Chains A and B, each alone.
Chain A
Amino acid sequence: MSDVLLSAQGLRLAFGGVKAADGIDLDVRRGEFLAIIGPNGAGKTTFINMTTGYLRPQAGIITYEGQAITGMAPRRIVARGIARSFQLPQLFTEHTVLENVALAIAAREGPWSPLAPLLRPRWREEAVDLLERFGLTSIAGARADALNEGARKLADIAMAVALKPRLLLMDEPTSGVAANEKMEVVETLARVLRAAQVTAVFVEHDMDVVERFADRVAVWSQGRIAALGPPAEVLSDPQVQRDVIGIERHAAA
């Protein structure tokens, strides 16, 4: 079994004149937590979109477990074990949080049973259990459109985790989560993912989170990877400090 779970080679994608991906080469190692940092518009979300089949790169290939998945439909990529969460939470707004997670479980297990309820005991139990691990028990019965941003974000991630992926791509999992809860939330998330042996790629603007939870950091800049390595090394690089962290501090202030 190869050490590399996901591999991107020479990904290119331009929107008009904007090069959102301008030759991305990246290997994601089995079991690691890889953080993606970089200024707004650097192409971080675009990378996730290409990897999950939402966007087809104009050039380059993506392999997962050694097999090409470039340009496959999102549905077929999920089936292989890649799930994602979204920068803007994508919840089913007419459903409760519990039902949202149950729908993800149904998607995983197959929804084709027209007479058994969605909230059948086994699925309900699993959903309740998952929400508990995310600290969302108190809002399990709330409609998804009634949540605050932090809770929406977590519910969105819980749905992705419910798919039991082997690779999880998270787009800014902590944005919208209150500053004083952030570390605890990430702690919990990391525990859940490690326990399930999930490899995680996450876009993150908070350098404290990156420093503490990432095994490696990739720095995105204008559709390219400007630096890649362990957080201690990358985050102390003067150029990264100037180009990314300075901007992040500025944006956060």
Chain B
Amino acid sequence: MRRTETLLAIGGAALLVLLAILAPWLRFVLTIALAKGVAVLGILLLLRAGQVSFGHALYLSFGAYTVAFLAPAMPEALILMPVAMLLSGLLGLVIGLFVSRYRDIFFSMLNLAISMVFYSLLEKLYHYTKGTDGIRVGVPRFLGMALERDQFEWAMFGTALVLALAIGCFVRLYLASPMGQALSAIKTRETRLEFMGLPARAVLLSAYVLSALMGGLAGSIIAMTTRHVTPLLGYWTVSGELVFIAILGGAGAALGPFLGAVTFELVRVYAAASFADAWQAILGLVLLGVILFFSRGLWGMVESLWRRRA
């Protein structure tokens, strides 16, 4: 399966590039999907430990607002991205030190609560954030070059794709490492870890910080792609969306989140265009179908199709 995964990743990336060339208006949608896929990879790490965060929109919006605030002073995409990512990771460390003490419903709800506090700050501190109007983000430079809008969108698409592949690879290695394997040990027998001298909290905290880094990076890409950030990106429904995508795509492999995110965004775009009011219902039905027939998500579906062929 490991080689298959690599092949599928490369094939999938090529397919996305082809789509972006053939249907230029999809480039935007796909860039957002890739960014969300990166954020969902973070959700996947936590899911491995049996923990569901209903608050990771916090890191998405934190990364996005970091870009919005810093872009005027530092209009360079390749600086804004890592800065947003690192600051988000730092925030994740502070919050993680607190939430990594909790499990299950408490973990979920604490993340939700903290994200809602941040959301209301974004909304209420009008003086800094322009409230619900949000902040416009100008087109930053890319590698020092001032690009046309079209070229910049290509650059962001390419960057998102490369980052998705790189972070996907990292997550795959991480999951096979002792740190990643200990995550599922937290889910099954956390006390045993303690009796072996392996600090479960630190293992969960590491994953949490990684998920915050990924969320912040995703938020920065979204900010530079949509070029307009609003508090809505930090609303709890967006957190729910990330979990939704994780389940839809399947938590079994690093490709799952991207499979989920691309499907999610495409269904949303097409369903919204064809059935203006019913797109959420259609997404719901898609997820229902996937869960009923493939409990391990779209990735599980691909896996079993592949097995049948082989």
Contacts and interface: CB of A to CB of B under 8 A. Distances in A.
A207 interface: no
B7 interface: no
Question: Closest 6 A-B residue pairs measured CB to CB?
Answer: A111-B178, A78-B197, A106-B178, A107-B196, A107-B198, A90-B192
A117 B176 contact: yes
Interface stretch (A92-100, A131-139, A193-201): A92-100
B188 A94 contact: yes
B136 interface: no
B198 A111 contact: yes
Interface in B172-204: 173-174, 176-182, 184-185, 187-189, 191-199, 203
A15 interface: no
A91 interface: yes
Nearest to A145: B188
| Main secondary structure on B side of the interface with A | helix
Interface of A: 52, 54, 73-75, 78-79, 83-84, 86, 90-95, 99, 102-104, 106-108, 111-119, 159, 163
Contacts of A91: 188-189, 192
B234 to A, nearest CB: 28
Contacts of A78: 195-197
Given A92-B189, A108-B197, A118 B184 contact: no
B194 A73 contact: yes
Contacts, number: 98
Contacts of A107: 193, 196-198
Contact of A111 (B182, B184, B187, B188): B182
8 contacts: A74-B194, A99-B181, A106-B181, A108-B197, A114-B179, A115-B173, A117-B177, A163-B196
B181 A95 contact: yes
Contacts of A94: 184-185, 187-188
Contacts of A95: 181, 184-185, 188
Contacts of B184: 92, 94-95
Contact of B179 (A83, A93, A111): A111
A84 B198 contact: no
B34 to A, nearest CB: 23
Contact of B197 (A112, A116, A163): A163
A113 B178 CA distance: 7
Contacts of A111: 177-179, 182, 198, 203
Contacts of A119: 176
A74 B191 CA distance: 9
B195 A74 contact: yes
B223 to A, nearest CB: 28
A159 B196 contact: yes
B187 A104 contact: no
Given A92-B184, A103-B178, A111-B182, 10 more contacts: A78-B196, A90-B189, A91-B188, A91-B192, A103-B185, A103-B193, A104-B196, A112-B178, A113-B177, A117-B177
A37 B27 CA distance: 72
Contacts of B188: 91-95
B182 A79 contact: no
In the complex, which of the residues B178, B182, B194 has the most CB atoms of chain A within 10 Å of its own CB atom? B178
Nearest to B198: A107
A191 B132 CA distance: 71
Nearest to B200: A75
Interface in B193-230: 193-199, 203, 206
Nearest to A85: B195
Contact of A116 (B177, B182, B193, B196): B177
A86 B174 CA distance: 30
A108 B195 CA distance: 11
A103 B181 contact: yes
Nearest to A110: B178
B176 A90 contact: no
Given A94-B184, A94-B188, A111-B203, A75 B197 contact: yes
Nearest to A104: B196
A109 to B, nearest CB: 9
Contacts of B194: 73-75
A132 B179 CA distance: 26
A118 B181 contact: yes
Nearest to B186: A92
Interface in B229-273: none
Contacts of B203: 111
B72 to A, nearest CB: 36
Interface in B48-97: none
A75 B195 CA distance: 6
A74 B206 CA distance: 21
A52 B195 CA distance: 8
